[in-house]
Homo-oligomer: A and B are copies of this chain.
Amino acid sequence: MVRLIPKDIKFFDMFAEMASNLGDGARLLKQTLEDFQDVDARVQQLKDIEHRGDDMTHNILTKLNQTFITPFDREDIYRLASSLDDVLDFVYAAGVRLVMYKITSAPPAASILAGIIVKQSDQLTDALARLGKKHDNVLENCVEINRLENEADGVARAAIAVLFEKEKDPISLIKLKELYEVLETATDKAEDAANVLEGVVLKSA
């Protein structure tokens, strides 16, 4: 019988924890892209953060599968967990590119993009901390996360355009293009999470 008891609040705590873990990962990536110090060790640390995120996602989905009454729509819990997980996957994927392609420096656009992911993570953390209590301002967080995604889009496109103009070595071009794309995709996934959040708030309005 126990698992029929909703204990709703725990879902919110779990999501807040996921967003905070994502923030740790995004911050670490940003630092790495700023100074390129200790890249291997930091990417290893990023891997640990990403594994922690995987466990958190898994725990939410397991709880979802074992809970009969949920604090908001099952599909939304599923989508929110999946999209938060995706953001961190792409943050880690950016780190992996540094090691795999032996990238030892990058134009500022890379750390600017990572900075945008940090801001989105902070907005998500803020929104998720309040979701279980009052929904005030959650929609504002969502609007800001969408705005940040647009900003990232512009930064990535400009950086890739410069790359195609300046970089004559195709292999270097391939490496940096992919780094930018992976970073930009992380901001898309944060927008996905924000869109789910917006839906949750609107449904309960």
What is A's interface to B at a CB cutoff of 8 Å? 61-62, 64-66, 75, 96, 99-102, 157, 160-161, 164-165, 170-171, 173-175, 177, 195, 199, 202-203, 205
Contacts and interface: CB of A to CB of B under 8 A. Distances in A.
Contacts of A66: 202-203, 205
A101 B203 CA distance: 42
Q: Is the interface of A mostly helix, strand, loop or mixed?
A: helix
Given A170-B174, A171-B170, A61 B157 contact: no
Contacts of A175: 164
Given A64-B199, A65-B203, 12 more contacts: A65-B202, A66-B203, A100-B157, A101-B161, A102-B161, A102-B165, A164-B171, A170-B170, A170-B171, A170-B174, A171-B173, A174-B174
